Structure 1
Amino acid sequence: MNILLTGGTGYIGSHTAVLLADAGHTVVLFDNFCNSNKTVSARINQITGHDIPCVEGDVRDTKLLVKTLHEFQIDAVIHFAGLKAVGESVREPLKYFDNNVAGSISLLEAMQKASVKTIVFSSSATVYGKPQYLPLDEAHPLNPINPYGRTKLQVEEILQDLVKSDPSWRVALLRYFNPVGAHDSGLIGEDPNGIPNNLMPYVMQVASGKLPHLNIFGNDYDTKDGTGERDYIHVMDLAQGHLAALNYLQDHLGCEIFNLGTGIPVSVLELVGTYEKVIGKKIPSQIASRREGDLAVCYADTSKANHTLNWYALKDVHDMCTSGIRWQTFRSSLEGSRE
């Protein structure tokens, strides 16, 4: 298949691009580089041995999307492009609704014009909000507690309404839990601009000396060690989930929703402890007060993806840490070469 990846040079998009290319698909990247680096495209080419086209553009540019879909004879789209920082979404909600929701509408309009009706959407477990029960399955009530989560839910609803209006669409909504880790090559990984919002890249920057210490927000939760527990999934397992969803859509019309996680809750201290064992040194940390909106425990029920897609998360926390360290070493060398 010819597959367009919006946000294709971002964290999850880049890893999925590598996997799809390795699986024999023809990949086209589309990105405005607002939260990624143009050099990622070259590193994807280095890993895959393919010269993968990369179109610079914004998903709100419907005309450019139509042109791209026609030019590369695209069969399916994986839609990663979107802003994803929860705190920023609270401060700048209009920016998030414009980019994430209006951008998705622009993409879908372009796909309609180009008669491309297969899409995998990068959604999030944030659509569930505070768990009413655990583990979270796809039938859990939806009540996102921040603008970022609400943008993801709105796009899910738009896609569901689109399928109702035109049953010839093939749509998969993938609700991610907490992606971490990097490609085994060490050439691509999570590379946030500014201070990281997520735990793993923050830990890596503390370990490298770029940040002074890790703040652990709360150690008095009702969990195994008092710190918050999350469902961390290796980014390459997540990429495999997109390939499995695309394969599923080849034989199925309509819209399906799948959780992508491991189903195993891991605490902040467990993740940090594993990282310390791998690198052989302590991570400077301090306990801080809980953050408003943080949950004690959140993890997935992945049985639907297991049974329907024949997809399973295979990598563990040790794999996540070792691959992340490999990427951090390469990333530090890049920063050193720029100085």
Structure 2
Amino acid sequence: MTTEDVCNAVRQLRKELIDDWYLTRVKSECNVDVNGDQVVPFNTFALKTSIPRIPRCDILRKIENIILKILKSLEKGIMPSFEYANHSSWDNIKFSVEFGLETIMEPKTSKISFGSKRSRKKFDLLLKLLAIIYQLVQTDAYRTKRDIYYQNVNCFKTQSVLDTLLNNISHLLEVPRWDLHVLSTSKGCIAGDLQFHDANGNFICCKNTKSGKGFPDINTRLLLKTLWNELRIPVFGLMDADAHGIEIMFVYKFGSKCLSSEVESLAVPTLKWLGLFPSDIKRLGIPENQLIPVTEADIAKAKSLKNRSFVKSNRLWLQELEILLEQKQKAELQSLNDFSFTFLPEVYILQKIASKGWL
């Protein structure tokens, strides 16, 4: 195996991904027979290379209309309520090869009524958060979720409650999360031969040695999608050989249930899973002292993943999950350090790419 073997594999994959994307666009946007004689210029189907933004005035108007509706309900003696698409149910989600996990055309809704004792508290919290967002958008200011939480800790109780409410408001207003002027604390890091200017004109150089951590956050997913849109470079996923690692890979590739309405801006369906596969544990002979027994939560997560439609239709993904459940052991990427500290970057990754050993 040589460096040229690795580069050739990446070049060929890039060409195949662009060709596949092009043919898919021709079929869906032009409804033409791609095997016929009609030739359509490639640039006719250029992807959106910028993340869609909603004008501030439109967001303010949406919030004002909601408040006006509440006032009119009270005037008529009707208990006010919020109603929005329920993104916690898989019944409202469909899968497409082109984009990933999408919200169906007419999703079932959730209704939060002030007249219901069960939902009155949530109604109050949604109204409070709407007021905060309105002020931020109106003044063109930004705050982090962390700031909002700690300044209102008695209201929101936990940061996960605040995060759920932000998703609810995003669906209520039909506005992307990133247009609500509430910033997430990024968990992802970037390193490598990449330089760019951000929206504020700051020059960013990515030549450092940090690594990502945790569940995929919105900012990391937006950046990854932008890299594919702008540069058309192959994206590889390298995760731990466990159910949670596999789920993280699926979120980057197909998006998530709660943000399915923003899948076109967040998911990278062209992503290839490079490893660490559950099958690699025996194939590589990872030492027993580096393996971790799976927990009941791991088993439940793996079984849940097996039931997803896009997994059922992919024999190799299904096989890896079955191996994980059968061997009842998982491995972290760090376990490869037992071979040598350079085994992962200099042997495993390069051999996987050169041999096209991705899924």
Please state which band the TM-score falls in when normalised by the shorter chain.
Answer: under 0.3
Which of the two has higher C-alpha Rg? 2
Judging by fraction of residues, say which structure has more strand: 1
Query: What TM-score, normalized by structure 2, do the two folds share?
Result: 0.26
Judging by fraction of residues, say which structure has more helix: 2
Query: What TM-score, normalized by structure 1, do the two folds share?
Result: 0.27
